[in-house]
Amino acid sequence: MRERSTTGEWDREVPDTKSLLGWSLPEGRDAVPSLTWLVERLRDSRPDWGLLSSLVRFDDERYVRTTLAKTDACELLLVCWMPGQGSLVHDHGGSAGVSLLVQGSLDETRYDWAGDRLLPAVVERAREGDLLIEESDTIHRVHNSSRRGAVSLHLYAPPMEGMTPYDSQVVRAPRPVDVGAGRKRRQRAG
C-alpha cells in the first residue's frame, strides 16, 4: 500500500517539538549519541495529547505520514493508519529509531535474510503505549490489522534517506503475538 506524505502542506501548521513533546530536537549532526538515548527521550516525553490529536489525519486510500520536525540530528514523524493499511517491507536507509503507539494497535513483522529471500522472524502486536525499536539494520513491515485507526509517533536519527522496499523478496508472515511487558512504555495518565 502506498503512503501519503504531507510534509509540504503541514510546514506552517505543525507546532514546535517543545510544545508537542516537552523538549526540542537536538540540532547538530552528531547530537544523538545512541539509539538508547533516542528511546529514552521518546519514552520519557510528556506529549501534549490535545496538540497531537489535532495533527491526526486519516486517508481512505493510504496511510498518512507527516514529518513534524527535522534537524541535522533526527526527525520526528506522525503516521496515521486506517484499518487494513500498512507499509511495505522496508529498511530505514541506515537510520535507527523508535516508534510510540499513540492510539490503536499495529502489527510489526521483522524479517531476516535467508539467501536472497526475506523470511519473517518475529511478528508482534504493539498496543497503545508500546514502543517499537528499530535498529539501523531492521527490516520490517508495519500493518494495522485492527478495526480502528492507529496513530504512531516515530523518532529517527539521522533523518531517514534512501529507505529500501523489499516486497518482491518476501515470504509472508504468520499471526502476531503481543509485544508484552518488556517493551511497554509507562502508562499514560488519563
Instruction: Indicate the annotated binding residues for Fe cation.
Output: 90, 92, 140
Tell me the binding residues: 90, 92, 140
Q: Compute CA distances 109 → 101, 150, 173, whole Å.
A: 15, 16, 7
One-letter amino acid for residue 47 of the chain:
P
Cell output for 109: 513483522
- What does residue 8 show for φ and ψ, rounded to 5 degrees? -65, -50
The Cα–Cα gap between 132 and 110 comes to 11
Kindly give, in sequence order, each residue whose CB lies less than 8 Å from that of residue 189, ignoring residues fewer than 6 positions away: none
